[in-house]
Amino acid sequence: FVPRSTSTFDYTSYHTLEEIYAFMDLLVAENPNLVSKLEIGHTTENRPIYVLKFSKGGTNRPAIWIDTGIHSREWVTQASGVWFAKKIVQEQDQGLANILDQMDIFLEIVTNPDGFAFTHTSNRMWRKTRSKHSGSLCVGVDPNRNWDAGFGGSGASSNPCSETYRGPYANSEPEVKAIVDFVKNHGNIKAFISIHSYSQLLLYPYGYTTTAVPDKEELHQVAKEAVAALSSLYGTNYKYGSIITTIYQASGGTIDWTYNQGIKYSFTFELRDTGRYGFLLPASQIVPTAQETWKALEVIMAHTRGHLY
Amino acid sequence: TENFVGHQVLRIVPSSDAELQKVRELQELEHLELDFWLSPRGLGDPVDIRVPFPSLQPLKAHLEANGVPYSIMIEDVQALVDLEQMQMLRRRR
C-alpha cells in the first residue's frame, strides 16, 4: 500500500513500518535537493535504522536531531514524526528558511523498528526493543534506560522481565548504539529532542541525579516558551522541568547522555493523551498533536539557531 | 497476537503520601502482571495501570480495602485496539 505522493499520504491514520519507510522514500524522491535518507545501523532483528537528513548544503553544519518512537507502543510519536517530515519540506523556504540556511535537521521517525513491527503483528502494548539476552526468558530492553549516563543507577531495573530493564550494559541495544555512534561521528549536533508519549511534559536533564545541569536556567526558560507556544494552539496543558524533579528518577536516559556529550539543548517531550486514551490515542488526534508539538519544536529550533555555541 | 480481552486501564490519582506508597507497592506485585502506563510520580499526578482480566478483581479489592480511590480510564482495552486496527484497514482501503 504505497500512496502516489506524500501529498496524498494519509497523515490522519496510523501506519505500519513498511508504510512509513515507503513514505520516507517518497519524500526523498520528491525533494532530492533537500532530503536524503541515511542508514545508521541495523536492529537486533536486522532491520535497517533510517534517519532523514534535511540539508540545503554545506558540510557537517550545526544540526538539530529529532527522534520519535523509541518506545514502540507510543504510536502518536511515530505518526507525528511523519507529519514533521512533511512539514519541514513545506516550511523549507518559509518558517524554517532561517534555520535551514544555517543548520541541518536529522529526523529519526522509527527509532525502535523491531518493537514497532511487533506492536503491529503481535503485541500492541510492546514498549522495549526485541533483544534477547542469555539467561532470561524475557525479551527486550528499555531503550531509554540503556544509555551511558548514570547507567545502572536507581530509576531503571536489572530485571530482564521489567518494562524498564536497562540491559546488560550501556549501549547493548543496537538501536541505541547506532545513535551514539552517529552523534559522536557527526560532532556538531546542537539540539537533541527525543519524543515520547504520554503525559504532556517537556523535560530537560537530568533524570539520573538531583544535581541541576549548569544550563538549567536557560533550558527552563526555553521550555517555558516552548510550552506556551504549544498550548496556544489547542490549550493542551503541559508541565515542564527537569526529569528527576518533574516525574521521577530515571537512569540511563537518552537526553542525559546527549547533554553530557555537550549538546546543551537536550529535551524530551511526552506528548498528549488528553487524559482519556493513554497509548491508544485515536488517530483523529494525530494531526492536532503534531501541530501543537511543532509549535514547541519551532521555539526550540529558533532558540538553538539564535544561540549557537 | 496478544489480545487484551477483559483488560482495563485504571487511573489512580494519589492524594496523600500513604496512597502514593500503596500505589508504589503495587509495582512489586509481579504476579498481577500490571502494566504501568504512567508510573507513580508525585501527589496529584495520575498513575495509569493496564490490568489483565484475572487481576482485576483482586486489585480492585486491594485498592478498596486500602481506601485508595480509582477510576476506570479504559473499560475495554481490546475494544480500543480493535477499533484502531479497523480504522487503519479502512483508511488503507
Task: List, for residues A207-221, the tens digit of each pLDDT value.
Answer: 999 999 999 999 999
Average pLDDT over residues A19-39: 97
Grid cell for residue B35: 502494566
How distant, in Å, are the alpha carbons of A83, A119, B62 from that of A247?
28, 26, 25
Q: Mark yes or no for CB contact B88/A123 under 8 Å.
A: no
pLDDT at position A31 is 98
Count chain A–chain B contacts defined by CB atoms under 8 A. 62
Decide: B87 and A283 in contact? Cβ < 8 Å: yes
Task: List, for residues A49-96, the tens digit of each pLDDT value.
Answer: 999 999 999 999 999 999 999 999 999 999 999 999 999 999 999 999
Strand partners, A266: A192
Average pLDDT over residues B54-82: 97
Q: Mark yes or no for CB contact A248/B39 under 8 Å.
A: yes
Query: Is the confidence at residue A135, as pLDDT, over 90?
Result: no
Containing H/E element for B37? Answer: strand B35-38
A225 part of the active site:
no
Residues 6+ apart with CB under 8 A from A134: none
pLDDT at position B91 is 87
Q: How far is A202 from chain B (nearest CA, A)?
A: 15
Average pLDDT over residues B5-26: 96
Query: Is the confidence at residue B18, as pLDDT, over 60?
Result: yes
Catalytic residue among A173, A270, A292, A298: A270
Question: CA-nearest residue of chain A to B48?
Answer: A278
Task: List, for residues A269-293, the tens digit of each pLDDT value.
Answer: 999 998 899 999 999 999 999 999 9
pLDDT at position A21 is 97
Q: Is B70 left (phi over 0), alpha (psi -120 to 50) or beta?
A: beta
What is the value of ipTM here, to two decimals?
Answer: 0.96
Q: Tell me if the bond preceding A240 is cis, omega within 30° of 0.
A: no
Residues of B in contact with A10 (CB under 8 A): 91
pLDDT bracket for residue A231 (50, 70, 90) = very high
Residues of B in contact with A247 (CB under 8 A): 39, 41, 45
Q: Does B73 contact chain A (CB < 8 Å)?
A: yes
Average pLDDT over residues A135-158: 95
Q: Does A198 contact chain B (CB < 8 Å)?
A: yes
**What's the distance, Cα to Cα, between the start and end of chain A in Å?**
44
Task: List, for residues A185-213, the tens digit of each pLDDT value.
Answer: 999 999 999 999 999 999 999 999 999 99
What is the C-alpha R_g of chain B?
Answer: 15
Residues 6+ apart with CB under 8 A from A236: A200, A230, A272, A274, A292
Q: How far is A34 from chain B (nearest CA, A)?
A: 28
Residues of B in contact with A125 (CB under 8 A): 2, 4, 35, 50
Query: Is the confidence at residue A1, as pLDDT, over 70?
Result: no
Strand partners, B72: B10
Decide: B6 and B78 in contact? Cβ < 8 Å: yes
The whole-angstrom separation of Cα A301 and Cα A102 is 11
Query: Is the confidence at residue A130, as pLDDT, over 70?
Result: yes
